[in-house]
Structure 1
């Protein structure tokens, strides 16, 4: 039977409405994407091009492989040459150049060339000589700023040792007595490996992955046994405990700033400040009530006959959870894991309060990019960082969407 004209028009209209709704929902994401690939664009503007102009991936390259001011301190080895004189067991460098490399394993990550003068080495030879110095040096290269033209804004050469060298015909070697300071001079080059290792993004990404992974593991450790107990065990006040379990956390969450102050005081008093595992434990504790409720509902849909059959065969409760419950409740467990991951990945209030800069996750770093909101913000850089931050969550949803769909509905076996 052919569909009626009215039904076709109705389906067409519903399709248009669905497309419009999806466009409204996804438009902010598309807008942020256009900002990220348009150099020098602004986030708040009345001018918008549906198809962006002057497309460039420079912002993503800056986020992933950029070096824009975070302190870097690495061992280096290189050469020194220039004019010097030696007297009284000391070598004085009048004017010279140090060329050095920072190695990561067998690969060069950073190479630099900086002017030096006024350096003093204690040397083994007591002869007096002057002329051209050539030698090999090693030490620590510290850099905190690179100028836009590629010159070094500020850097130090520390603990420099003259491994070997010659001044005229005299062989010399020895440690340096003081720092070499470089300001707005010299050049530095980061290879792709050097940019990768020293990128701010990957440092904060590591912290986020550690925090989110620990949150997932701790949540599952507590949620799976608790959900099984509330679903299968009979004990006094079970329903009341479960409701209290959930409602108390919601009330506690509503305490807001007072709860944050109390939590901060407890963490500092116990000496647990600036520790990623402690913050992951706090995240897991906050997610356990809701996720227990969620997983309990899924386990309720699984027939208890499987548990009884395993008990008859002599299985313990732990064996039932491991060999019977876990395989059958995998969609529900995957849903809990994803919710726990998102909670640990996106939270930034506690992370900014309980962690110092070295241990802070990506969420805090992206928030701090807006420290001067409205002034001096590279919106293309910010948009690229925000989209890269959201990418892992999007990938997880895409890979586990079937688990999430069945985990949020009654998906177990039914009699």
Structure 2
């Protein structure tokens, strides 16, 4: 007996060690990309790899979440203007000054900027010929398209600049910009000035959160549409008898797989129809496509789960006078929750990870995270920032991981088609 117990213990230890080794092999790429994401200046083109990184930095995550990588900001601002100036014949000439502006998002300051003004001309309400030190309050439109690493403005514009109240040599006035340093009625900033983002400003203007919003809209709407179509369809195929019931769903499932095999031809046809119908660059359209593509498989999956629920519950509800919609809502949904949760997870993952249709049918401002991360790979062989890419990839996978962790019991029950016993 003792010999048998010892043999079972050894066998259990061996199997456990083998399972740990297999899990390590499976999860090693995830760990590898995590190490890359926390290693500053990391590169994949190296013969050395440290299982434990020597230098740990969260700068890549901070850059992904709160960085500014070329997205365009076009916001109204208020601020002040000061410097040496003079007024002649109703025009204000600034010879050496600076413009300080503040962009707000609701009650919070999003960013501040400072621009030197070597020359600018305003049409003002004061007619006196005076000179001295200018002090004034201004408002306008601040356009920013690039920020340099040192915090200077790579490229930006100030439009619609207006002095709401100013004072120079005892004269009070207001006025609008006639001519900036380049001769236009706006001010151009190239590799100059300074811009500072607050935490709120970095959050609002983050590229990551903009794409994240698009992904959540697409995936969330795809889940909602999938459940709206799949739940009644699965109930009908499971409980009702009609002509072709045993063949329609399987034929539809097979047809969608064959249609999916058409590849590029199918994409061209879909693109042509979307453009002809005027639905190009519409987020809900993409959700409808994802939901429609997943309806056959998800209906088949949920039907299998409903089949395991005794129809006696439906019959009892019908005897009590319940309608079919009431049966679905009050009887089916609570009992089929594991199957429904599984369908919802699959629908979410499909809408969250797909990027081919998203890149084809959406412009850059409406594209989801999956397309953005794919476009980051465009720099392979040309200096791609692997730490930045690794952080972005892990943050992209985080919502799916959280959903699996929260719904793992439902998913396990839904996939094993657990039933109720009478």
> Mapping of 1:7-406 within 5 angstroms?
7-177=8-178, 178-406=185-413
Q: CA deviation at 1:130?
A: 2.1
Q: Under a length normalisation based on structure 2, what TM-score does the superposition of the two structures give?
A: 0.97
| Pairwise CA distance, 1:91 | 1.4
- The Cα of 1:93 is off from its aligned counterpart by 1.7
1:408 paired residue among 407, 410, 415: 415
| TM-score, with length taken from structure 1 | 0.98
Q: Is the 8 A contact 1:366 1:382 kept in 2?
A: yes
| Distance in 1 of aligned mates of 2:334 and 2:327 | 10
Structure 1: unaligned runs, 5 residues or longer: none
The CA deviation at 1:46 is 2.1
SS of alignment partner, residue 369 of structure 1:
helix
CA contact (8 A) 1:328 1:412 kept: no
Q: Distance in 1 between matches of 2:362 and 2:151?
A: 33
Following superposition, the deviation at residue 69 of structure 1 comes to 1.7
Aligned Cα root-mean-square deviation (Å): 1.1
Corresponding pairs, count: 415
Task: Note the alpha carbon deviations across 1:182-201, whole angstroms, 9 max, x for none.
Answer: 11111111111111111000
Runs of 4+ in 1 over 6 A off after TM superposition: none
Quote the Cα distance in structure 2 between the aligned partners of 1:24 and 1:46.
20
Q: C-alpha distance in 2, partners of 1:204/1:11? A: 47
Quick one: distance in 1 between partners of 2:47 and 2:339? 45
Structure 1 position 175, deviation (Å): 1.5
Superposed CA deviations along residues 50-77 of structure 1, whole A, max 9, x for unmatched, are: 1011100000000001112211111111
Q: Tell me, what secondary structure is at the counterpart of 1:371?
A: helix
1:329–1:412 contact (8 Å) kept in structure 2: no
Q: Note the alpha carbon deviations across 1:70-125, whole angstroms, 9 max, x for none.
A: 11111111110112222222212222101111112222110111112332212112
Distance of 1:117 and 1:260 partners within structure 2: 54
Question: Cα deviations across residues 393-412 of structure 1 (Å, max 9, x unaligned)?
Answer: 00000000000000001212
